Amino acid sequence: MRTRTVQRTELVPHTIDGRTELVLDRYDVEIPVPPRDWDRIVLGTVTGAAGLIGVASIAWSTASIGDLLARATIAPAAYAAAGVFDLVWLSCMALEWLARYDQQRAALPRRAGYVALAIAMAAVGAHGWIADQLAIGLVGAAVSGLAKAMWTVVLRHHAKPLDDRTQQWVDQQRAKAGGRLAMVAVRRELTRAESAVAAEQAAIGAASPETPETVRTPPEDEAETPDEEEQPTPSGPMTIADAVRTAISSGITNPDAVLRYVRKVADANAKEASVERYLRGLRRTA
């Protein structure tokens, strides 16, 4: 069994002049090496080969279709447009790769890739036909077809379709996550809208002319009564009885006015019943 050396560390006590400290001690350990995963190596090699084939297909299609389009426009624009043909179906293959666990989502990029491939092969064949080299045009078109076929085989090998119940569970989780993600954008949009409304209202309020101050007319129940026109000035801490007595001696006879005076000078939480009791007592003794 093959092994490899791995360096490990651990804390060990080390004493010098009677003082002990924990220090790192390094030591080597031999651990077994797992056997080579030839399946993974082969799959990685094939995937790399498919990548090289795709690059070669793009180069050939771009050169062929670019020469065809250059007959009607400038070369830079022609070759830039020519690169689109193979890049489209390769991009569809990449989307199919991302959806390799969901065959329903992978179906659309797969069909779009075949359509883009057919157009690219037709353009390469048209170049050979116009150049009076139809055979070369057909062989060149086959390059893109072979690249597409190679990538299709590789993707089918990497794809791991899910069973129906697992797929439903994945779809539900994806829908919930998508809903939360959508709400982030919705809340951001609502925040922007509310901020715009607040800014607009603030601008309108700042631009409106100032209105003259209006004199507030107190309601009837707050209108001054003759008993409240002149209230005695309190002369120190007072009890409720003292406040009632002072109000009566000052000519305040309205019970509501007396209650307000008591709450002002004696007890802000004085009860109406207590004030009325004191008023009755003072009136009986008067």
Nearest one of 279, 218, 217 to 252, comparing CA atoms: 279
- Categorize the per-residue pLDDT at 118 as very low, low, confident or very high, splitting at 50, 70 and 90: very high
pLDDT of residue 171: 85
d(CA 223, CA 229): 10
pLDDT of residue 231: 53
Is there a contact between 113 and 92 (Cβ–Cβ < 8 Å)?
yes
| Amino acid symbol at 112 | A
pLDDT of residue 276: 82
Pick from 77-81, 158-162, 164-168, 266-270 the range whose average pLDDT is largest. Answer: 77-81
pLDDT of residue 108: 92
Mean pLDDT of all residues in 22-31: 90
pLDDT digits (tens, 9 = 90+) for 32-49: 888 888 888 898 898 899
Query: Torsions phi, psi of 161, nearest 5?
Result: -60, 145
**Half-sphere CA count of 147, side-chain side, radius 13 A:** 29
Is there a contact between 114 and 169 (Cβ–Cβ < 8 Å)?
no
pLDDT digits (tens, 9 = 90+) for 260-269: 888 887 777 7
Neighbours of 248 (CB within 10 A): 16
Domain ranges of the chain: 3-32, 38-158, 235-285
227: pLDDT strictly greater than 50: no
- Categorize the per-residue pLDDT at 230 as very low, low, confident or very high, splitting at 50, 70 and 90: very low
| DSSP for residue 234 | P
Structural tokens at position 156? 């089918």
- Categorize the per-residue pLDDT at 241 as very low, low, confident or very high, splitting at 50, 70 and 90: confident
pLDDT of residue 119: 93
Between residues 269 and 231, which one has the greater pLDDT? 269
Is there a contact between 279 and 271 (Cβ–Cβ < 8 Å)?
no
pLDDT of residue 206: 63
194: pLDDT strictly greater than 90: no
pTM given for the model? 0.52
- Greatest alpha-carbon span in the chain: 134
**Half-sphere CA count of 213, side-chain side, radius 13 A:** 2
pLDDT of residue 16: 92
pLDDT of residue 232: 53
Share of the chain above pLDDT 90, in %: 15
